[in-house]
Amino acid sequence: MSALFERFSQADTSITRRYGGTGLGLAICKRLIELMGGEIGVQSRQGLGSTFWFELPLPLAPSEAGKLPICQIGSTSQPRRVLLAEDNPINQEVITAMCEGRGHTVTVVDNGAAAVAAVHAGEYDVVLMDMQMPVMDGISAARAIRAAEAYGKRPATPIIGLTANAMAEDIQQCRKAGMDAHVAKPIEWAELFTTIDQVVVSAPADALAALQVLDERKLGELVNVLGCERVAKMLHRFACDIENRLTVLDEIDVCELSLIMHSIMSSSGQLGFIELSNLSSRIKEDAKHGARPNCLPELLLVGRRAIEAARAYVGRL
């Protein structure tokens, strides 16, 4: 029996082929316990089983440990209309069941483009957005939703990102896309439901402010140097150029797309159209590596917003 605690030793070598193992488990336990000043042993009776025990010399706790908080996932004070954008069928079923158990009504879509369309067509209190989905990913979908809301002057629907990536850069990416919060997978339900209540209650009316369409300070500097008339003509050419380029996106290959995005990125950045410049830069990088981006629908919305902002600025000159 004492051989059980030796390395590479098993009570009956015939079980190795059936159950595997190396005979190291008990040897490791013995070594760890001895390093802590303790002792390990076994009591066994053939045909009845074995009892393994160990003793460790440990100091008494200074006081009774507090009780661990119990996760409360009962019904909420107010049911929410939830849009779940998630492509994994099991995740869809689990998240839907948990949300419905909380009293929420859940609508499920399986890609980012469908989420954008659903938000445009219906009214939801909150969107739960997975990051990795086919057709359009969660980041692109969030940007498209925010762009559409701003273009239509509609209130912003709170968006919570759901992702297995919980690094600071991933969370920052969610925020930059216009999401209100981030919950890591696997989901802690108490955290999710608390976050839902927080973003629905505290969602500001000006939640779209983070997506700056136009930095008017840049145009103001140009007006001071070039004058109102020249800047107005410049903005008119810019708006017409963007409008023309947006109409051919589906007809060009990735090489042409990269060149067009470079041009849009440069001109929009120079004039202060920040959102369009940033998005064009991202699309350019994807196209440069031979990938046709899935955020072209978002570009149409962002481009339209830039055109409207340019014409509105001209109207105020």
Structural domain spans, the chain: 2-55, 81-210, 216-316
Q: Which parts of the chain have pLDDT scores under 70?
A: 1-24, 61-77, 153, 166, 202-211, 295
CATH topology of domain 81-210: Rossmann fold (3.40.50)
pLDDT reported for residue 176: 85
pLDDT reported for residue 179: 92
Mind listing the pLDDT tens digit for each residue in 148-204? Answer: 887 776 788 999 999 877 677 788 888 888 898 999 988 999 999 999 988 887 544
pTM confidence score: 0.49
- Cross-strand pairs, 184: 163
pLDDT reported for residue 202: 54
Give the tokens for residue 2.
Answer: 């004492």
The CATH class of the 2-55 domain is: alpha beta
pLDDT reported for residue 68: 46
CB 51 within 8 A of CB 75: no
pLDDT reported for residue 24: 60
| Antiparallel, parallel or unpaired: β 126-130 and 159-163 | parallel
pLDDT reported for residue 32: 81
pLDDT reported for residue 291: 76
pLDDT reported for residue 249: 81
pLDDT reported for residue 141: 94
pLDDT reported for residue 193: 93
